[in-house]
Amino acid sequence: MKVAIYSESPADEAALRILVDALRGEATEPAHLPCRLASRGVESVFNLLSTVIRALHYNSNAEALVVVVDSNHTPIDPAEPNTDGARAKRCRLTRLREIVEQVTPTLKPVADRPALRVALGLAVPAIEAWYLCGHESGISEEAWAQGLAAGKEPYSKARLKQLAYGTDRPSLAIETERAVEHARRVAAGLGLLDAKFPVGFGSFARDVRNWGA
């Protein structure tokens, strides 16, 4: 299966492919995004996602697309009402789903090709938390949500980076190497990742498993 991966960092994309392969029980083939679309940062992902979907649908051999972003300090419950109307405070998983739901009906069928399948995930508060699953017991969606509710984060993103990479300012080479190492370890016990991150990883895992053969 040819799968494109779009996230905030090339290092994360390398790690996510390992998790996708573990969820599917088989290796996937890369379907690359056009270089001009491979912008980084969460807002770039949101701003370019509809363009990415169209480019993959019309101009690639991709069968599926994975998109994962960090939650940072935004809400992590997709069912939570948007009471303040502030876009930046909305659940980012909901925002991703809305973009996919808006663009999909506008795509015209391409001969001899099925519709592009999509898997969406939310790393709470950052993907380094996923990498540390099973290594640092106090890190979970629940711990982060409780911290947000109390107005005091239980750990910082800088601390997660320090634990994951040995520094909070890793080079891309170190970030990629360590991310891949963590992903391989975590992939051997996906049940724990699902249990500790049921919203953000759980949604992603269900989407991937629902792709079928």
Structural domain including 113 reads: 2-209
Contacts 24+ apart (CB under 8 A), 97-100: 99/46, 99/49, 99/50, 99/53, 100/49, 100/53
Task: Tell me the pLDDT band of 32, cut-offs 50, 70 and 90.
Answer: confident
Question: Pick from 190, 175, 125: which is nearest to 15 by CA?
Answer: 175
pLDDT in tens, 145-187: 999 899 999 999 999 999 999 999 999 999 999 999 999 999 9
The DSSP result for 79-131, as a single string, is: TS---S--GGGS-HHHHHHHHHHHHGGGPPP-TT-PPPEEEEEEESS-HHHHH
| Domain count along the chain | 1
Whole-number pLDDT of residue 81: 47
Please tell me the pTM assigned to this model: 0.91
pLDDT in tens, 66-102: 999 999 999 887 654 444 445 445 899 999 999 999 9
